Chains A and B, each alone.
Chain A
Amino acid sequence: MPAVSKGDGMRGLAVFISDIRNCKSKEAEIKRINKELANIRSKFKGDKALDGYSKKKYVCKLLFIFLLGHDIDFGHMEAVNLLSSNKYTEKQIGYLFISVLVNSNSELIRLINNAIKNDLSSRNPTFMCLALHCIANVGSREMAEAFAGEIPRILVAGDTMDSVKQSAALCLLRLYKASPDLVLMGEWTSRVVHLLNDQHMGVVTAAISLITCLSSKNPDEFKTCVSLAVSRLSRIVSSASTDLQDYTYYFVPAPWLSCKLLRLLQCYPPPEDGAVKGRLVECLETILNKAQEPPKSKKVQHSNAKNAILFEAISLIIHYDSEPNLLVRACNQLGQFLQHRETNLRYLALESMCTLASSEFSHEAVKTHIETVINALKTERDVSVRQRAADLLYAMCDRSNAKQIVAEMLSYLETADYSIREEMVLKVAILAEKYAVDYSWYVDTILNLIRIAGDYVSEEVWYRVIQIVINRDDVQGYAAKTVFEALQAPACHENMVKVGGYILGEFGNLIAGDPRSSPLVQFNLLHSKFHLCSVPTRALLLSAYIKFINLFPETKATIQEVLRSDSQIRNSDVELQQRAVEYLKLSSIASTDVLATVLEEMPPFPERESSILAKLKKKKGPGAVTVELEDGKERGELNGGGDRGGDAAIAASNASTPSPSADLLGLRSTAPVSGTTPSAGSLLVDVFSEAGPSATSAGVNDDGFLSALHAPEASDSPLVEGPGDSDSAPPTVASEDPAPPLPESDELLNKFVCKNNGVLFENQLLQIGIKSEYRQNLGRMYLFYGNKTSVQFVSFNTTVSCPGELQSQLNVQTKTVEPLVEGGAQVQQVINIECLTDFIDAPLLNIKFRYGGALQNISLKLPVTINKFFQPTEMAAADFFQRWKQLSQPQQEAQKIFKASHGMDTEVLKAKLLGLGTALLENVDPNPENYVCAGVIQTKAQQVGCLLRLEPNAQAQPGEQMYRLTLRSSKDTVSQRVCDLLAEQF
């Protein structure tokens, strides 16, 4: 057959299409299209009436332009005119244009309806089909009003052609969905059901869609379809592979029709009629048997078509959930697929098994595949398959395998895709809670969760662990000991600090006997985290401190001193300031008795459903089905069964796993507030409004709580700040070794000496943004890797290294990033930095990934410079000069005289000096044009005081302007390094 434009071959159109295809750029394409649009517009507006052929040609061009993705705002009228043509080709283009371009609320509908009416009554089957297609595609209410009565008649009339019946069935379905009130049930409904018996398979295929929809809405009226569907299915399943001729696909008889029949049956419960049921079971068995037979063809199409039916049959078996024999057979069949070489089959098998796991009959059978599923979680190369494996593990989890499954999920979490981490965290938290036999395991699991995926642990999760620890006194000592240990890590997640602060504040006394965790050690540990935490966490810690004063009177003086310090009592944050003031006052004026009453241990939390479960239910997306199915079961267990009787499945699942978990979740406590201290109870809620149980239960916490935590990911991401200035091509280095740092990396480093945020690096593929914050000798840096292309980066890997002696000067910790970066996506990496002693070199950041197969290997210097650890120091002129003189040894001073490379704008200079981290001292230098600064560099080993003086000769001609920069500090290397860094800035 000819390749290009058969029949009347619109030569102009072919030329136009060729032109477009030859366009080298999008701009050229748009230009060519605009030219054509202008031409068509003038033709349509011209005086000369166009003949049908020309009209068709231009409408066809417009259609084509639209299909290329360009907007079309004219030509609709001409298309409508084509509808009344007697020529099939013209009419067809008209209908096509309208189907594709006209939406249901166009004002042309009335004109279109007229044309449709004519075609429907034409008795010409091809015209009728075109008109019906059009109704099905547009399906507006006006169309429904005009044709809802007519179409059922066409559908069931004895003399209607098969192809028209097919179109009429789908057309009616559309109208029924869009305007159910206009499609009146009537005599035709029973005749529609009998279309399942139609001789013509195409008619059956079309009619099933309509019947499935109608019977899901009106099951009783259409229930006769069950026996008809069963007998139709039975005839297909038992037919030989060639019986159905054109409806046989690669030796599989009518696969699509079979799937649709099986899907229709899923609208109904198992047939009550024994004979029908027997016949259906026979069908299902035959389908399962066929899966074991040798294939009739080696073609993948054959096995796919066969398996499509098999999966649909298994769905029906699961839907009935009443035939243990079939359920177990289905499970065994899926088990075979789990190890199949076709990824598609493994994916579908995992998914299908997920629903099988919730059936009491097949739950045990599903469990036997646990090793395979765990293996899939570890080795599948496709993330969507791994996700299914994780879902299945969740679904098959019960008391017998909970420890194993939770451990596997935890270890998967370390490398899991960012997109699914939050859901994974919730699932692990739920399983740990639901199947906890001993609480120490539960506490360990949740703390591990925070350690591994702290960013993804929502507040519900850490609230929940606290609720449980508070309510279970046998786990409190263990919890205190464990959080104490977890807090020893130099960089621990803020959520860990929250849990730690809360638990030590309540139960720190349980471990205070050990000198290694004496009250003061506990306090110092908590307070060492304080400065790196967000405001809400600091507020929580302040509450923990006041609780410490009650628990351990010996810490009172230390804590009062902390509360009294300017950074607390004059904190710019109102909440923190208020807490500091109130707690300080409370601790100094209240008697020990009052203090003990006010700061009494938290009362047990009232019994309630796990907040985590609610959260998981709320989360839509992959796995939602599973969650829904699990739902009933979970609720049953959560409430200890009992009160939700009636549902056999729930009762059974409770019986099969008689749960001590009900203990854990059933939270036996009664009244939330003990009767002994009624007045103190309300005070307590007041004082601890943010950290207390009332906030936790009612969810009063303002959103700031979380949003503050996620601030670095918020929309003010550095990637939106101006573009980087490096356009260099990506260096393609074949070696897997880290590339040497880019030549421009020193320059890039210098850009960040006086600022903490911005774009570090950019080329055609990748953009790296930075956000960083420093406090004392600690720093945290967020790196944002943005994939600028539409293709994913694979094997994405970043390493941070400290070359040479830097290793002993800086302590840098990073988490690995996800190896896949989707096109257009951004991933974040957090780097924690601890400055041990002063240093000169910068850490190296190496980024490797594959883009379209080619290895990209980029090394940069991470902008961590010694000045980041400056603490500004304010001092008066006299002090400054006294210290300046004290630092008069030659090696303590570093000086540079250099040309100004930018203008000498005062404000810019000041901003840069402040950005350096020092305090800019006014009225110190006798010459007002000079700048002096002071600061202390904080390292773990020592503090290095540092003074700076910058003298510009602003009066000189531009081009001759010079600076003299002098640095004095107690350490020669520091003076030199800061001087070198700063000299590049002006």
Chain B
Amino acid sequence: MIKFLLMVNKQGQTRLSKYYEQVDIEKRPSLETDVVKRCLSRKKEECSFVEYKDFRLVYRQYAALFIVVGISDTENELSIYELVHNFVEVLDKYFSRVVSSIMFNLDKVHIIIDEIIQNGHIVETNKNRILAPLLALDKMAEAH
């Protein structure tokens, strides 16, 4: 199962975090710093999976944006690795400039993630269906 998903910039600042396992709010910043440190320090030729405590990190870099997913050992690393890419493609489809848009539209990014992952499990991978609620929302807002 997926334990958490983080979107982090190159400076190591968390832009978005989503937890699927109870982690105390006070403990999150230190966990995030630690996790991010491990991934950011890795080189291109190193593998994208990192052992971390009793779980694993899968990370992928897009220009200045890092996406890190913490998974348990019942999850398939490559499938999560591609899930991240699918997610980024969805963002790309919706926002024209992903990196700067994320900051201004955190709520929408959350909606997108909620459509893809629920409760730590992959629930939808079809891009059109992932975006459907968001597009409905936009339509409603425009109508006002």
Q: Is the CB of A5 within 8 A of B47?
A: no
Q: Is the CB of A7 within 8 A of B141?
A: yes
Least CB distance, A201 to chain B, in whole angstroms: 7
Bound Cα distance from A733 to B43, whole angstroms: 24
Instruction: Map CB proximity to A onto B128-143 as digits: 1 under 8 Å, 0 otherwise.
Output: 1100110011101110
Q: Is the CB of B125 within 8 A of A247?
A: yes
User: Which A residues are in CB contact (< 8 Å) with B76?
Assistant: 259, 263, 308, 311-312
User: Which B residues are in CB contact (< 8 Å) with A823?
Assistant: 37, 41
Q: Is the CB of B47 within 8 A of A67?
A: no
Least CB distance, A618 to chain B, in whole angstroms: 14
- B144 located at the interface, meaning its Cβ lies under 8 Å from any Cβ of chain A in the complex: yes
User: Which B residues are in CB contact (< 8 Å) with A4?
Assistant: 101, 104-105
Q: Is the CB of B124 within 8 A of A67?
A: no
User: Which A residues are in CB contact (< 8 Å) with B100?
Assistant: 3
- B61 located at the interface, meaning its Cβ lies under 8 Å from any Cβ of chain A in the complex: no
Instruction: Map CB proximity to A onto B94-117 as digits: 1 under 8 Å, 0 otherwise.
Output: 111100110111111011001000
- A33 located at the interface, meaning its Cβ lies under 8 Å from any Cβ of chain B in the complex: no
Nearest-neighbor residue (CB-CB) of A132 within chain B:
B118
Q: Is the CB of A88 within 8 A of B137?
A: yes
Q: Is the CB of A64 within 8 A of B125?
A: no
Contact of A249 among B50, B104, B125 (CB under 8 A): B125
- Knowing A67-B16, A93-B107, A822-B41, say if A133 contacts B118 (CB, 8 Å): yes
Q: Is the CB of B45 within 8 A of A311?
A: no
Interface of A: prevailing SS: helix
Q: Is the CB of B95 within 8 A of A3?
A: yes
Q: Is the CB of B133 within 8 A of A129?
A: yes
Nearest-neighbor residue (CB-CB) of A260 within chain B:
B122
- A926 located at the interface, meaning its Cβ lies under 8 Å from any Cβ of chain B in the complex: no
Instruction: Map CB proximity to B onto A762-792 as digits: 1 under 8 Å, 0 otherwise.
Output: 0000000000000000000000000000111
- Stretch of A144-152, A163-171, A186-194, A563-571 contacting B (4+ beta carbons < 8 Å): A163-171
Bound Cα distance from A305 to B79, whole angstroms: 6
Q: Is the CB of A67 within 8 A of B17?
A: yes
Bound Cα distance from A262 to B29, whole angstroms: 36
- A307 located at the interface, meaning its Cβ lies under 8 Å from any Cβ of chain B in the complex: yes
User: Which A residues are in CB contact (< 8 Å) with B86?
Assistant: 249
Contact of B137 among A3, A7, A64, A307 (CB under 8 A): A7
- A986 located at the interface, meaning its Cβ lies under 8 Å from any Cβ of chain B in the complex: no
Bound Cα distance from A802 to B111, whole angstroms: 65
User: Which B residues are in CB contact (< 8 Å) with A614?
Assistant: none
Nearest-neighbor residue (CB-CB) of A792 within chain B:
B41
Interface centre among A69, A99, A104, A346 (most CB of B within 10 A): A69
User: Which A residues are in CB contact (< 8 Å) with B15?
Assistant: 67
Q: Is the CB of B119 within 8 A of A174?
A: yes
- B4 located at the interface, meaning its Cβ lies under 8 Å from any Cβ of chain A in the complex: no
Nearest-neighbor residue (CB-CB) of A343 within chain B:
B47
User: Which A residues are in CB contact (< 8 Å) with B97?
Assistant: 3
Bound Cα distance from A625 to B74, whole angstroms: 12
User: Which B residues are in CB contact (< 8 Å) with A343?
Assistant: 45-48
- Stretch of A378-386, A677-685, A692-700, A741-749 contacting B (4+ beta carbons < 8 Å): A378-386
Least CB distance, B72 to chain A, in whole angstroms: 12
- A283 located at the interface, meaning its Cβ lies under 8 Å from any Cβ of chain B in the complex: no
Least CB distance, B136 to chain A, in whole angstroms: 7
Instruction: Map CB proximity to A onto B79-94 as digits: 1 under 8 Å, 0 otherwise.
Output: 1011101100000001
- B25 located at the interface, meaning its Cβ lies under 8 Å from any Cβ of chain A in the complex: yes
Q: Is the CB of B107 within 8 A of A163?
A: no
User: Which A residues are in CB contact (< 8 Å) with B48?
Assistant: 343-344
Q: Is the CB of A384 within 8 A of B47?
A: yes
Q: Is the CB of A206 within 8 A of B123?
A: yes
Bound Cα distance from A89 to B134, whole angstroms: 10
Q: Is the CB of A385 within 8 A of B137?
A: no
Contact of B121 among A206, A381, A622, A625 (CB under 8 A): A206
- A541 located at the interface, meaning its Cβ lies under 8 Å from any Cβ of chain B in the complex: no
Least CB distance, B92 to chain A, in whole angstroms: 11
Q: Is the CB of B141 within 8 A of A8?
A: yes
- Knowing A6-B138, A89-B140, A93-B107, say if A620 contacts B118 (CB, 8 Å): no
Q: Is the CB of A5 within 8 A of B104?
A: yes
Least CB distance, B36 to chain A, in whole angstroms: 9
Contact of A622 among B14, B45, B51 (CB under 8 A): B51
- A60 located at the interface, meaning its Cβ lies under 8 Å from any Cβ of chain B in the complex: yes
Least CB distance, B51 to chain A, in whole angstroms: 5
Contact of B29 among A21, A63, A69, A92 (CB under 8 A): A69
Q: Is the CB of A88 within 8 A of B140?
A: yes
Bound Cα distance from A205 to B110, whole angstroms: 20
Nearest-neighbor residue (CB-CB) of B79 within chain A:
A308
Bound Cα distance from A822 to B76, whole angstroms: 27
- A209 located at the interface, meaning its Cβ lies under 8 Å from any Cβ of chain B in the complex: yes
Bound Cα distance from A137 to B111, whole angstroms: 13
User: Which B residues are in CB contact (< 8 Å) with A307?
Assistant: 78
Q: Is the CB of B49 within 8 A of A344?
A: yes
Q: Is the CB of B137 within 8 A of A382?
A: no
- Knowing A6-B141, A88-B140, A384-B50, say if A163 contacts B79 (CB, 8 Å): no
Least CB distance, B42 to chain A, in whole angstroms: 8
Least CB distance, A266 to chain B, in whole angstroms: 9
Least CB distance, B96 to chain A, in whole angstroms: 5
Bound Cα distance from A246 to B138, whole angstroms: 22
- A256 located at the interface, meaning its Cβ lies under 8 Å from any Cβ of chain B in the complex: yes
- A348 located at the interface, meaning its Cβ lies under 8 Å from any Cβ of chain B in the complex: yes
- Contacting B at CB under 8 A, from A128-150, are 129, 133, 136-137, 139
Bound Cα distance from A173 to B110, whole angstroms: 21
User: Which A residues are in CB contact (< 8 Å) with B138?
Assistant: 6-7
Q: Is the CB of A205 within 8 A of B122?
A: yes
Nearest-neighbor residue (CB-CB) of A266 within chain B:
B74
Bound Cα distance from A482 to B3, whole angstroms: 52
Bound Cα distance from A209 to B16, whole angstroms: 25
User: Which B residues are in CB contact (< 8 Å) with A301?
Assistant: 82, 85
- Knowing A21-B103, A69-B14, A621-B51, say if A8 contacts B144 (CB, 8 Å): yes
Bound Cα distance from A815 to B87, whole angstroms: 47
Q: Is the CB of A256 within 8 A of B122?
A: yes
Q: Is the CB of B47 within 8 A of A385?
A: yes
- A702 located at the interface, meaning its Cβ lies under 8 Å from any Cβ of chain B in the complex: no
Q: Is the CB of B22 within 8 A of A136?
A: no
Bound Cα distance from A621 to B108, whole angstroms: 37
Instruction: Map CB proximity to B onto A297-309 as digits: 1 under 8 Å, 0 otherwise.
Output: 0000100110110
Contact of A247 among B105, B126, B140 (CB under 8 A): B126
- A760 located at the interface, meaning its Cβ lies under 8 Å from any Cβ of chain B in the complex: no
Bound Cα distance from A823 to B42, whole angstroms: 11
- Knowing A17-B103, A63-B107, A88-B140, say if A163 contacts B129 (CB, 8 Å): yes
Q: Is the CB of A3 within 8 A of B45?
A: no
Binding site for A on B (CB under 8 A): 12, 14-17, 22, 25, 28-29, 32-33, 37, 40-43, 45-51, 54, 73-74, 76-79, 81-83, 85-86, 94-97, 100-101, 103-108, 110-111, 114, 118-119, 121-129, 132-133, 136-138, 140-142, 144
Binding site for B on A (CB under 8 A): 1-8, 14, 17, 21, 60, 63-64, 67-69, 71, 87-89, 92-93, 96, 99-101, 103-104, 126, 129, 133, 136-137, 139, 163, 166-167, 169-171, 173-174, 201-202, 205-206, 209, 246-247, 249, 254-257, 259-260, 263, 301, 304-305, 307-308, 311-312, 343-344, 346-348, 381-382, 384-385, 387, 620-622, 625, 790-792, 822-824
- The 5 nearest A-B residue pairs measured at CB: A7-B141, A308-B78, A209-B121, A170-B118, A308-B79
Given contacts A129-B133, A174-B119, A247-B125, 18 further A-B contacts (CB under 8 A): A2-B96, A4-B101, A7-B138, A17-B103, A63-B107, A68-B14, A205-B122, A246-B126, A246-B128, A255-B82, A259-B79, A305-B82, A344-B81, A381-B43, A384-B50, A384-B51, A385-B46, A822-B37
Query: 28 A-B contacts, Cβ less than 8 Å apart?
Result: A7-B140, A7-B142, A103-B22, A137-B119, A170-B123, A171-B119, A173-B121, A202-B123, A202-B124, A202-B129, A209-B119, A209-B123, A246-B129, A247-B126, A249-B82, A249-B125, A254-B125, A255-B79, A256-B125, A343-B47, A348-B49, A385-B46, A621-B51, A790-B37, A792-B41, A822-B37, A822-B41, A824-B37
